Each structure stands twice: as C-alpha cells, then as structure tokens.
Structure 1
Amino acid sequence: RGINKGWTTDQIASRITLPSLYDVDYLTSERYGVTEHHVRQIFMGIRGWFDGDESKLFPEEPTERYGKLIAGFGGRAEVAAQSAKALEDEDVRWATELATWLVRSDGTTQDERNLLAKCLRVIAERTPAANIRNWCITRARHLDGSFPMDRFMVHNFNPKFLAESAATGIVHTLRVIMDPDKIEGMNHHIAFTVGDETCGLHLRNSVAVPTDGWGAQSLVTMSRDIFMGVVSGRLPWSEAFAAGDIKVSGDIEAVDQFRMSLENKGFAG
C-alpha cells in the first residue's frame, strides 16, 4: 500500500509499525532487527534502490554533501552544539544525524567522534534488537578509540586460511583486492607457478579473470613458502625478487603493474 501511494522508503519506515500484539512473542518482537529496517529491505527487493525521493537520484558526493550541510548550519561548532543539545533533549535521531555529518566530513576531530560515539551508546542502551545494539557499541568503541577497528577495514589473509588453502584459490582471490584504475588499458595474461600448482589471471577490461595459466604471456614462479610470505605481508615482493626467490619471465613491467595494483603490502612492497 505504501509503495502504491508513492511513499519513499523513509516515509514507509516511519509510518509502518506492527500492532502491539506482536511484541508479546519472541518470534515476532524486535529482538533481531526492527520493523523500520525490515520494511526498507522489502521495498528494495520489490522496487530496487530508487524510492522516488528526488534528492537520491543523483546525490552529492557524501563528503562534499556533509561539508555543505555543516556550512549551511553555521559551521562545525554550531552543528556540534546542536547535536549535543538534541541528545540532551532526548532527540537521539537528530543528534546522531548531526554528529554523523561531522564525523564523515573532512576535518573531523576526536571530540566530534566522541559525540557520535555517545549518540550510538544511547541507541544501544534503548534498542530491543541485539544486532543493532552490538553494532552501535562496536562502532562507538571504534570512534572513541577504545577498540579501533581499522585492521578489519583492509583485506588481510588469515594465516590459518593460508595454511589450509591451495595457492590457486589464493591467486584467483587477488582479483578482489585489485584497484581497477591501476590496470586500465591492460590486456595481459599472467601465469603463476607456486610449488607444484599453476594457475593464472588474465587482466583485461580493468578486471582480472581467473584462468588455469595456459597460454599466458608472462610467468611468475616461486615456492609455496615464499608465496605465503608475500600474501601475508611478511615478505615484500621486491625483497624476494631481488634475492632470486621470485622469478619472472615475459613482460616484467606488466607483472609489476599488476602487483602494484593490489591492496596488499606484500605484493606492492
């Protein structure tokens, strides 16, 4: 009905609630997720991401948008003051939104991050949903520095995963940590022989396509121990190459361009 009335996802989320009878049973009460979140998922599954809100069609780049909103509200100090006042007045949603502008814009300070962390802790205290509570507390601890989550925001290969995985699977996984802008225009097939395994990646159209390595234009050869050292970031590629532990035949420049496109300190090092 909401979709047929032309309501946006924000309007549907704020207008649709469950009858109180559903809050007396653990199967239908909001213990894992809340109604206003679930209706957004249902909307997107039916209609897709665009909900008819004109501003969402071509939105401003987020950092620039937050900067313009802050300027329009009178500057960072004014926005921080309004956020703190809103939190004091129990307007937690508005306080959180204002604090988010500050944290996600250029020039954020630790005091601003602490303010948003305070907002999130209030949400965590009041929500009945365990998953929301856990996320809010985790995010708050990251913001205030009590438990930084930065190490989870990069692609690292778990040592246990590396020890139990075939080299072929790991080589093929490299495609998801590749910066496509850094291989733009390349059309080059690279084979990797790691121990007794051979596989490859064909770089074309700014993507890396997994292959079996047959017919490759360049070949990279190394032992499994050296490969695991590079992938884990413990051993820089340049150091292993200089020592002769990594051998490259074919187009060395193309291989270097590829490895430098990977968001991995071992390959790029």
Structure 2
Amino acid sequence: MARLPLAAALALVLAGCANTPAAPMAAGGVTATTAARQAAAASALDLAAPRSFEAARRGLVAKPTGQVRDETGRVVWDYDGFAFVQGEAPATVNPSLWRQAKLNNEAGLFKVTEGVWQLRGFDLANVTLIQGRTGWIVVDPLTTRETAAAALAFARQHLGDRPVSAVVYTHSHVDHFGGVLGVLTAEDAAARKVPVVAPVGFMDEATSENLLVGTAMSRRAGYMYGALLPRRADGAVDTGLGKAVAAGRVGILPPTVVVDQPHQAMTLDGVKFVFHNAPGTEAPAEMTFTLPDLRAFGAAELVSQTLHNLYTLRGAKVRDSLAWAKYIDEALGYAGDSDVMFLQHGWPVWGHDDVIAFLKTQRDTYRYLHDQTVRMINAGLTGPEIAEAMVLPKSLETVWSSRGYYGTVRHNTRAIYQHYMGWFDANPANLDPLPPVDAAKKYVALAGGADAAVAAAQKAFDAGDYRWAAELLKHVVLTDATNTGARELQAKAFEQLGYVAESAPWRNFYLSGAKELREGPPPPALARGVPVDLLRQIPIDTFLDAMSARLNGPRADGVDLRVDLRFSDLGQTHGLWIENAVLHHRPKPVEGRADATLTLTHDLFLRLATGRATAGELVASKDARIDGNPLALAKLFGLLDKTPGNFPIVTR
C-alpha cells in the first residue's frame, strides 16, 4: 500500500472493513457540468492507446475466479468484485481513472521473464515468484495470510509444487509482508532455515508506524480506499494502485538477513541478487534489487504505474520528494542494463529503452514537483496557492505513469510545502485561528443564518461550482449536524467532485464523505486493533510509548501512581509511573516502592492492554499475579482512553 510506517495500507486492514458489505448509496445523478468535465477529460487523452493493455496482459498463464474466504467463511477477497469495470467509462467515473481501473483489473498469474512470475490481482500489491534451484523465492507476500496462501496455491497449480526457499520483503508497508504466514509458517522457516531478507530498519518500521496514531489512520484509510463503498460505477472502482486491500489475518516473520549496505550482493537458492537500499522514498525502509543473470530489475515501489503519494491521505509522515528523485536517478545506473523491470504494484515494463524512459519520467516528475514548489515557496506562495498553480509540463503530463491515479499533483505539492515550511503560512491571521466548529458558527451567522448559507450553496451547486458549494456547506454542517438539507446538498456536491476525480483516493474520499453525511459513521464493531501477530514483534518500550499516548491527561492531573510490570516469560521488568499527568516508563523497576506489581506473560499483557482480555480474565488467569494494591492497577488502566475508531469525519 502500497501501502501503513505499518503500509499504505495496514490502516485499512486494522479497521477490518475491506470487503465489508455496504448499504446501497442514495447516489445522485450526474449533472450537466460533470458530464461536460468527463467529456473534456476523455478528449484530452488517448484513452484507447493499446500499449499499456498489451503490457498488462503480456505473459498471462491463467486467471483466477471465485472468492478467497477465511476459516470462518468470511470473504477475504473476491476476484470478480470489480467485474463491472469493462467497456466505456460510465458517466459517474472519470474516463482516465476508468482506464487505470481496467488495467488494474487484469488479474492472474503472469510470466515476466525466464524464471520470474507475478501474481497480480490477488490483493492490493503483487507477489513475485523467482525460481530458485530448489524452490520459490517469494517477493512481498501480500497483505493477508489468506490471499498469500491462495496466490501461492494458484501458482503451484500451474507451475508445480515447489517449496518456498526464501522470502524477500522489499519494504515496510503491510501489503508487502502481512501475508507471509500464508506462504511459510514460522516452524517451517526455522526448521529449514529459510532466509527472510529485508532492508535495514524494516522491523522497526513494519511494526510501529501506525501504533501511535493507528486508530485515526484506520478511520481515514476507510475513506481513502473506499472500504465501505459499494463496488459499482457510482462507488468504489479502484484504488489507483490496485483494486482493493484484502481483509484477513495479518502476520509477520522477522527477517533473518538484513540488507544494511547501499548495494549488497547475495545468492538466494542459487539466484544472484544485488539489493539496493532506498530508504525514505515510498517507505522509510525500502530496497530494490537487480537480477544480473536474468537482466531484470525488481523496482519494488520506487516507481509505479501512477504518480505516487508524497503525503498519503490516510495520514502519515511526509515523504522526501528530492531524495526520491535522486534514488530513481541512482537506479538508472544500476538497473540501466535491464531488459525488464517488474513492479510490486501494476504491470512490468519490457525493453531496455522503455525501462530507461520509464525511470526518467518518474524521476523527473518528482523532481519537477519538488523544484517548482520550492521556487514558488521562495516567491511567497502558500501551499494552497502552489497546489492551484502547479501543472506538469506536457512531456510529463501525458505520460500515463505520471498521472494522478493515486497521488496527485495538488496534494503532493502541498506535501512538499509542509515538508519544508510546516503548517503555518506566515499570515498572522492563521497563527491562532478559531477551531473549525467555532469558526463555522461565525461564518454561518455572517452569511445570514443556515438557510441563507444553504441557498448560496445551492446557487453554487447549480452553477457547477461544487468546490465552493462544499466549502459553504462544511460550515453549515459543522454548525448543526442535524441540518438534513445541508447534509444532503453537501453529499451531492461531494458526489460530483468524486465522479470527476482522476485520483481513486480523492474519489473514495468524496464518496465516503457523501455516505457518512447520509448514513452516519460506521458502527464501532468495524474498528479493530493491531493484529496480535504483529504486536508480539513490537518492542515493549515502543508499545508502552503508545500506551502512554492513551493517558487522559486532564483526568490524570494530580495523580501519583507507580506500577511495575514483570513479564514472567521474558524475564523483564518495566516500571510505569504518572508524574505531571504524563505516563512514564523505563525498562527497570520504578524508583521507591511500587503501589502494585503485576506479573504476567507478554501475550496476556498485550491482550489486556488492547481490550482483548478483561480484568476478570486477568484475575482468574494462572499466568498473572498481582502484588500490592490492585486498585492502583485498576486506576492506571481506567485512565487510559479507549477509542472506538469510528469517529465522525465530516459531521463532527
């Protein structure tokens, strides 16, 4: 994900809402303005250009059908879920995005080159299989155990039943490692000493990226990936990077081989690899690799069949566009002799000249956005002004892989502004602005009341100015979330903006906002915590940092509390104490006398701290013992906020 530092997409898996049945949307029709914009978009590009489709279908061995289900029978993945994406673009989808959606719909097992196959359309990302001397080298085993197992089983059905002889994680996003237990069990990996290769920093990033703010990222990821939208022409059609994120069990196997050099050669099951670290590009820990004997380049997510995100809309740290461009430029040197380049999203690029051209246009797209944003920053423009003014040169704008199907020119330029300048635009009026709801009330009053503001928004809507209509109605809805007329009109404005969006995440955000306006937020049951298989790999200090961030500071004001946690199975003691309404912790007993000491196993603590185990289970468990005052423990855990993860976004 492609994506959560757990991958462009762990947040969606954490929400547990991919493939969740969605109530039908009360969708509005396409306005004349929207129809005209769709026609203009269709005429601006050669949508019938066949080369991309030829590449997306090249090497097809077999196509999957049916569904992947988990052990309870729940659908984890539906191969035919987007079967409606065919033919000409419907009026409710940007024609350029529809083209990308059709390309991402080309699912199956594909031969890339001699000894290399890919399974595409089994999850958000691709899994790459490289034939070793004794078995399969699996590159990026998808998001979930179920989809990874289905992909490998499908490959074995057509290519032969070979064991997994090595696993390679190209980077730290969950759609590239979360399904590893579906292709290789921990017991089998240990017994056969199967190498698991990853870039330096992988484990830290893979297990901790979304731990602190994972709840918020999960909620927003549901918007970004259209998790609750129906799969149809007025709902979810694509993510821009792939079809969707699978909703199954997420796990991890810790790496046994770490690539910690800029360029590092090694042989895996008889196949020569040269790994190339590219940290801080699409992921904090990322690497590409070349296969010299096969004249092939595995580009990971350094480049994609779309403009990528410098800032991902689900929420994340901003990525460094200058460093990203420089790493692609470096790849031109070490991958320049390759005859094929395969990606971990989308379809490969064949031919030496085409590989070079692809790398150059991706490099120059990120570099152009960087340099021109910086130029305009120094001319005094703010982030929104730069986003409105930025246009790629024709030589880049007309290249399919530079189109904004996932990232966009507009939000990427804002990200570059944020990277260098932060949130403040230097206008003193924006130094201490009113919070959104307070400001909204004053704006609505200034407009002459809600009825006048809604009337003005209706006039803007009728004129096709949906951005302004949405802006006006934002204030009305924030002022009074029960104003059904304002909510419905804003939903209609969001729909029109979503229909014309070339970016799938933008479309999904708009249509998800419309759905919330009409139906309210999703039920709390859809919000889940970090999978236990991942939590077990998170260092206790890191987990306690996240636990400290759940402390309700106002309620903890004046509290003096000291607790020791003894992990009987790890031989570790961590001291926790509250001081100045801050929950501190150290990997040693607290100073002075602890109010209580809780001795328990690591697994029981994780279940207790994440709400998977109750206080009653703790007291009854043979794996736990409480010494001292048990009320001190109850007080500590009672001061930790429990967030359901279904907070409203547009209705507040």
- Aligned counterpart in structure 2 of residue 117 of structure 1, from 475, 491, 515: 491
- Aligned counterpart in structure 2 of residue 51 of structure 1, from 403, 414, 425: 425
Tell me the residue number matched to 1:258: 636
- Aligned counterpart in structure 2 of residue 192 of structure 1, from 561, 565, 574: 565
Aligned-pair identity (%): 24
**With structure 2 as the length reference, what TM-score do the two structures score?**
0.36
- 2:402 alignment partner, SS class: coil
Farther-moved stretch of structure 1 (106-115 vs 121-130) = 106-115
Change (3 A) 1:240 1:118: same
Is contact 2:552–2:640 with CA below 8 Å preserved after alignment? yes
**Cα deviation code 1:116-164 (max 9, x no counterpart):** 2222221111111122112222232222217x3353897x435x42796
**Cα deviation code 1:42-67 (max 9, x no counterpart):** 11222222112332111012211011
Farther-moved stretch of structure 1 (83-92 vs 130-139) = 130-139
Work out whether 1:72 is the aligned partner of 2:446: yes
2: CA distance, partners of 1:131 / 1:45: 21
Tell me the residue number matched to 1:174: 547
**Cα deviation code 1:197-226 (max 9, x no counterpart):** 553423233332333352361213457787
**Cα deviation code 1:25-55 (max 9, x no counterpart):** 1222222232222221111222222112332
How does 1:150-165 map onto structure 2 within 5 Å?
151=524, 156-158=528-530, 160-161=531-532, 165=536
Change (3 A) 1:213 1:251: farther
Tell me the residue number matched to 1:220: 598
2: CA distance, partners of 1:129 / 1:215: 52
1: CA distance, partners of 2:421 / 2:567: 47
Is contact 1:123–1:133 with CA below 8 Å preserved after alignment? yes
Aligned-partner residue type, residue 475 of structure 2: W
Is contact 2:529–2:610 with CA below 8 Å preserved after alignment? yes
Tell me the residue number matched to 2:213: none
2: CA distance, partners of 1:17 / 1:152: 43
2: CA distance, partners of 1:214 / 1:249: 14
Is contact 2:576–2:590 with CA below 8 Å preserved after alignment? no
Aligned-partner residue type, residue 174 of structure 1: M
Change (3 A) 1:228 1:22: closer
Task: Tell me by how many angstroms 1:80 deviates.
Answer: 1.9
Tell me the residue number matched to 2:272: none
2: CA distance, partners of 1:84 / 1:213: 63
Paired positions, count = 260
1: CA distance, partners of 2:381 / 2:552: 38
Is contact 2:535–2:606 with CA below 8 Å preserved after alignment? no
Work out whether 1:12 is the aligned partner of 2:386: yes
**Cα deviation code 1:88-117 (max 9, x no counterpart):** 210011011112112223444344333322
2: CA distance, partners of 1:221 / 1:85: 65
2: CA distance, partners of 1:28 / 1:182: 50
1: CA distance, partners of 2:511 / 2:578: 42
Change (3 A) 1:222 1:112: farther
1: CA distance, partners of 2:390 / 2:557: 47
- Aligned counterpart in structure 2 of residue 209 of structure 1, from 584, 599, 612: 584
2: CA distance, partners of 1:135 / 1:23: 24
RMSD of the TM alignment (CA)?
3.3
Aligned-partner residue type, residue 165 of structure 1: R
1: CA distance, partners of 2:424 / 2:497: 27
2: CA distance, partners of 1:41 / 1:224: 39
Tell me the residue number matched to 1:135: 509
Aligned-partner residue type, residue 202 of structure 1: W
2: CA distance, partners of 1:100 / 1:152: 27
Farther-moved stretch of structure 1 (77-86 vs 102-111) = 102-111
- Aligned counterpart in structure 1 of residue 402 of structure 2, from 3, 22, 28: 28
- 2:401 alignment partner, SS class: coil
Is contact 1:167–1:224 with CA below 8 Å preserved after alignment? no
Is contact 1:162–1:228 with CA below 8 Å preserved after alignment? no
Is contact 2:457–2:468 with CA below 8 Å preserved after alignment? yes
Q: Pick the structure with more helix per residue.
A: 1
- Aligned counterpart in structure 2 of residue 126 of structure 1, from 482, 500, 516: 500
**Cα deviation code 1:145-200 (max 9, x no counterpart):** 17x3353897x435x42796279749624223222222224453312346645534
1: CA distance, partners of 2:578 / 2:620: 25
Change (3 A) 1:45 1:69: same
2: CA distance, partners of 1:240 / 1:109: 45
**Moved >6 Å (runs of 4+):** 223-226
Q: Pick the structure with more strand per residue.
A: 2
Change (3 A) 1:117 1:107: closer
2: CA distance, partners of 1:40 / 1:14: 10
1: CA distance, partners of 2:539 / 2:597: 14
Work out whether 1:3 is the aligned partner of 2:381: no
Is contact 2:564–2:576 with CA below 8 Å preserved after alignment? yes
Aligned-partner residue type, residue 563 of structure 2: I
2: CA distance, partners of 1:167 / 1:26: 39
Farther-moved stretch of structure 1 (212-221 vs 132-141) = 212-221
